């Protein structure tokens, strides 16, 4: 077998133009590293640390990107290209060094140069702080789409918040999650240019007043209140091959100058400084919550802060080359990543009408022609609504505009309706009048957009039939589907070098920019030689993960066992608890000698729980308690191990995913909008055990039913059971002795000696409090399915054949495909199909 760790030389002389040329390149990079060490960092080579060398290498790599960035910017201006703006509260980027080395074709050169200097590439790479400006899937989607938009040559710009503290670091103490703040900007950020000269004022509070404009027409304006300055930080994103570089512009909050003067002149220096840091705290911290809306005023303030700064920036750029707004929707597309930036709709109305004198009807046509909205969840607890009183106090002019938009919208519906239907009007309204009046941000985003998309086919269907049914009847063409995708550059080329090299040896290298070419591997699925190579790659990756786990946790894993992986945020709907019910079931069977036909299995979990989500934290604790008991029991030694890898983030995902053989995607059908972890794992050759939920359905269609393990109730049946009161968990508990033994063991202290009631809440939620996520209804089918997985794994050739088919048929889930679809169907921009 060929050397699987061999690096693929890219655009460097290392590709065989001769040893002299290679030598010259290595010497050249050495010089540039020493130069940055000296002139950018003020250090000499003696005593320089891994961090210093990281910074020097990152700066040298950045130099290669800056020229392209300038070119891309010039090109966009020259051609007056339509621009795509991606507004997102979250960008879950992870580390950038390897991605940018790959994009600029200099990864091999960097490795060899550091080798030559006696430096450890991995140790240097790991010095980069994690850019964890997001919670999970939604933020990671934003990062993947930015990379693909750039690869496809779109003049794109992301907009978000430059949080001082991104996602917290997760530590485990006594089996429980502890959150620690992470100051990721401690050493600055090589990939971002701070722009102290680019600031936008953002107003809060104050009042509105009537006025006449210069032509004597009645207008309103927003006055008084307080101002915060948004300062720009531009994070560079390189596309594949570095043919295009775009930026994500992230805003940090600064106290405004005007604000300073007013307060300081009152003579209260200390309090004035304290208030100054209060306004700067606006961009301090990311809300570490996934799939719930917590309704905190600071969060609303953050949302408006970045929306207001971004729209001013967008409008200013447009007006540099245009005299009026008629062509705004032809030149500007703004994508709203979930409802978090939905205030962009009334803010653009305000800018156009109040500040630029555009008529209301024209302004509204511009808005709806410009905006599109991506919905990410149907979970009721995640749908954003804000009390009318809160918006009225913080953003008085926006509340007026929302009322106006809503009035116009509902009048239009009434006019067109055959007979007025008050219940329908109430359901359509942007204002929820039941109880405390609240603004429904999803309705605002929906009505203000020309396209509204779901993120997987099933999710889009459920949007049309469920929460958006009335809006869908009103705007039957507005809802479209755009199934999520992942960038193969990060998730295969960078994360799984051995697999990337093996694929390239067989089908050439262009698959990385055209992932559907992976189908060229299909004929090899039956080839015993190729199967052996694929197995060897997986084994190499499993051994690497074993070293990683041993190094971090001091736990030894068996690389010959089945690596069964569930990594994602901890949430009841994702059902990590169902996974644990299987672990305990298998454990009891092994102890009783009833699972002799099952292969040795290592169950790997990772994920963070929202700090205030008690049940999710209790599940993490249960995982640790079960792991402690199982891993210490000599009766199951060598047959079952459980490990929880702390602090799940993009970099940890890059370690785990290439080593996975089984991918658990087991959410209650109808709850996971799409999932993208499912795609990363399948693309890296893991087989999926999953429900017919989110994008699992489409993965099944692509890879074929015989190459995926589906189980459980489909969405329609799950919905019927949950909402029409047919679910009787007690019946499952009493009717299934094995399930009862598992639940009794957990609920009576089998894993929590000395504290028998520790998991009472968990067991009660299943047996007594309705089992909302239907674990007990799916349990038996899940266990039977896991049995089939175990047996299938024992036929190693057939398992590998299925894994190859999975890899070969995952091309559709490249975020390049997703972006091309957005570009054609929503944004109306061309994409590049050839480099250059």
Ligand X SMILES: *Cc1c(COP(=O)(O)O)cnc(C)c1O
Binding site for ligand X (CB under 6 A): 136-137, 140, 568-569, 648-650, 653, 675-677, 680
Residue closer to ligand X (CB basis): 568 or 617: 568
CB of 484 to ligand X, least distance (A): 8
CB of 173 to ligand X, least distance (A): 22
Residue closer to ligand X (CB basis): 533 or 672: 672
* CB-nearest residue to ligand X: 677
Could you count the other beta carbons within 10 Å of the beta carbon of residue 75?
Answer: 13
The residue annotated as part of the active site, out of 43, 83, 459, 574, is 574
Helices (H), 572-613: 576-591
- DSSP letters spanning 484-547: --B-HIIIIIIT-HHHHHHHHHHH-SGGGGSGGGGGGGGGGGG-HHHHHHHHHHHHHHHHHHHH
CB of 144 to ligand X, least distance (A): 8
Torsions phi, psi for 397 (to 5 deg):
-70, -35
Q: How far apart are CA 161 and CA 251, in angstroms?
A: 5
The residue annotated as part of the active site, out of 82, 542, 569, 589, is 569
The residue annotated as part of the active site, out of 568, 722, 801, 812, is 568
- DSSP letters spanning 814-835: BHHHHHHHHIIIII-----SS-
Report helix angle 576-591 to 614-632, nearest 10. Answer: 20
Report helix angle 737-747 to 576-591, nearest 10. Answer: 100
Residue closer to ligand X (CB basis): 310 or 453: 453
Return the bridge partners of 233, or none.
Answer: 194, 250
Residue closer to ligand X (CB basis): 244 or 674: 674
Residue closer to ligand X (CB basis): 491 or 759: 491
Residue closer to ligand X (CB basis): 62 or 140: 140
Q: How far apart are CA 569 and CA 173, in angstroms?
A: 19
Residue closer to ligand X (CB basis): 376 or 443: 376
The residue annotated as part of the active site, out of 376, 451, 497, 655, is 376
The answer to whether the CB of 159 falls within 8 A of the CB of 310 is yes
- Kindly give the pairing relationship between strand 438-440 and strand 431-432: antiparallel
Does the active-site annotation cover 569? yes
CB of 568 to ligand X, least distance (A): 3
Tokens of 3: 């050397």
CB of 607 to ligand X, least distance (A): 8
The residue annotated as part of the active site, out of 676, 688, 800, 818, is 676
Does the active-site annotation cover 36? no
CA 480 and chain centroid, separation: 20
CB of 483 to ligand X, least distance (A): 13
Could you count the other beta carbons within 10 Å of the beta carbon of residue 771?
Answer: 22
Does the active-site annotation cover 301? no
DSSP, res 730: H
Residue closer to ligand X (CB basis): 140 or 497: 140
- DSSP letters spanning 746-793: HHTTTTSTT-TTTTHHHHHHHHTS--TT-HHHHHHHHHHHHHHHHHHH
- E-assigned strands of 39-168? 83-87, 91-94, 131-133, 156-161
Q: How far apart are CA 418 and CA 290, in angstroms?
A: 42
Does the active-site annotation cover 472? no
CB of 648 to ligand X, least distance (A): 6
Which residue has tokens 């052996």?
Answer: 532
Does the active-site annotation cover 568? yes
CB of 682 to ligand X, least distance (A): 11
Does the active-site annotation cover 574? yes
Looking at the annotation, which residues are catalytic?
Answer: 376, 568-569, 574, 676, 680
């Amino acid at each position: 077998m060929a050397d699987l760790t061999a690096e693929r030389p890219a655009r460097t002389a290392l590709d065989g133009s001769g040893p002299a040329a290679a030598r010259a390149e290595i010497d050249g990079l050495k010089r540039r590293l020493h130069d940055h060490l000296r002139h950018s960092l003020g250090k000499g080579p003696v005593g320089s640390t891994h961090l210093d060398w990281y910074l020097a290498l990152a700066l040298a790599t950045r130099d290669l990107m800056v020229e392209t960035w300038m070119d891309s910017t010039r090109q966009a201006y020259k051609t007056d290209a339509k621009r795509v703006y991606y507004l997102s509260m979250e960008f879950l980027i992870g580390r950038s060094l390897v991605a940018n080395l790959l994009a600029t074709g200099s990864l091999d050169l960097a490795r060899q140069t550091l080798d030559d200097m006696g430096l450890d590439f991995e140790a240097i790479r790991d010095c980069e702080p994690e850019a964890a400006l997001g919670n999970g899937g939604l933020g990671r989607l934003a990062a993947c789409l930015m990379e693909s938009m750039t690869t496809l040559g779109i003049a794109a710009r992301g907009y978000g918040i430059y949080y001082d503290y991104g996602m917290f670091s997760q530590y485990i103490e006594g089996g429980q999650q502890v959150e620690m703040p992470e100051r990721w900007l401690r050493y600055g950020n090589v990939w971002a240019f701070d722009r102290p000269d680019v600031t936008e004022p953002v107003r809060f509070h104050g009042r509105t007043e009537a006025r006449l404009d210069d032509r004597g027409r009645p207008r309103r304006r927003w006055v008084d209140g307080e101002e915060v300055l948004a300062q720009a930080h531009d994070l560079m994103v390189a596309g594949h091959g570095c043919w295009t570089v775009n930026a994500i512009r992230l805003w940090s909050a600064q106290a405004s100058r005007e604000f300073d003067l007013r307060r300081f002149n009152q003579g209260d220096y200390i309090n004035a400084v304290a208030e100054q840091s209060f306004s700067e705290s606006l961009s301090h911290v990311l809300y570490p919550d996934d799939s719930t809306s917590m309704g905190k005023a600071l969060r609303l303030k953050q949302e408006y802060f970045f929306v207001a700064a971004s729209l001013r920036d967008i409008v200013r750029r447009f007006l540099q080359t245009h005299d009026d707004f008629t062509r705004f929707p032809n030149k500007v597309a703004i994508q709203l990543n979930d409802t978090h930036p939905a205030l962009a709709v009334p803010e653009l109305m305000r800018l156009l009408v109040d500040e630029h004198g555009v008529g209301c009807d024209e302004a509204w046509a511009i808005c709806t022609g410009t905006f599109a909205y991506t919905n990410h969840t149907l979970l009721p607890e995640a749908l954003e609504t804000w009390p009318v009183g809160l918006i009225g106090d913080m953003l008085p002019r926006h509340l007026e505009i929302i009322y106006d938009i809503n009035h116009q919208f509902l009048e239009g519906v009434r006019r067109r309706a055959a007979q007025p239907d008050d219940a329908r009007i109430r359901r359509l309204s942007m204002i929820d009048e039941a109880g405390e009046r609240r603004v429904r941000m999803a309705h605002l985003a929906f009505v203000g957009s020309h396209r509204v998309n779901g993120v997987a086919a099933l999710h889009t269907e459920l949007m049309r039939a469920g929460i958006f049914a009335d809006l869908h009847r009103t705007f039957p063409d507005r809802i479209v589907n755009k199934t999520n995708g992942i960038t193969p550059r990060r998730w295969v080329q960078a994360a799984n070098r051995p697999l990337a090299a093996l694929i390239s040896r067989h089908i050439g290298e262009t698959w990385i920019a055209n992932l559907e070419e992976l189908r060229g591997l299909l004929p090899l699925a039956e080839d015993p030689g190729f199967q052996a190579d694929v197995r060897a790659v997986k084994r190499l990756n499993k051994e690497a993960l074993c070293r990683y786990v041993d190094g971090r946790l001091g736990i030894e894993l068996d690389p010959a066992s089945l690596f069964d992986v569930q990594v994602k945020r901890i949430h009841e709907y994702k059902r990590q608890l169902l996974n644990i019910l299987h672990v305990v079931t298998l454990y009891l069977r092994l102890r009783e000698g009833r699972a002799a036909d099952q292969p040795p299995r290592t169950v790997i979990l990772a994920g963070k729980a929202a700090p205030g989500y008690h049940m999710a934290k209790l599940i993490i604790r249960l995982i640790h308690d079960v792991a402690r008991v199982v891993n210490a029991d000599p009766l199951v030694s060598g047959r079952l191990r459980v490990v929880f890898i702390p602090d799940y983030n993009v970099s940890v995902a890059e370690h785990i995913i290439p080593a996975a053989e089984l991918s658990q995607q087991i959410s209650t059908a109808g709850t996971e909008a799409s999932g993208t972890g499912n795609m990363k794992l399948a693309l890296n050759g893991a087989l999926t055990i999953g429900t017919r939920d989110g994008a699992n359905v489409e993965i099944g269609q692509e890879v074929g039913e015989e190459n995926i393990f589906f189980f459980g109730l489909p969405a329609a049946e799950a919905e019927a059971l949950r909402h029409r009161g047919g679910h009787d968990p007690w019946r499952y508990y009493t009717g299934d002795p094995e399930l009862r033994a598992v639940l009794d063991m957990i609920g009576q202290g089998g894993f929590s000696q000395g504290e028998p009631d520790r998991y009472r809440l968990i067991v009660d939620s299943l047996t007594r409090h309705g089992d909302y996520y239907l674990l007990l209804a799916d349990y038996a089918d899940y266990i039977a399915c896991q049995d089939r997985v175990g047996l299938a794994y024992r036929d190693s050739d057939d398992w590998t054949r299925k894994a190859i088919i999975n890899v070969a048929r995952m091309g559709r889930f490249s975020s390049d495909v997703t972006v091309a679809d957005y570009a054609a169907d929503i944004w109306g921009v061309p994409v590049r199909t050839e480099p250059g």
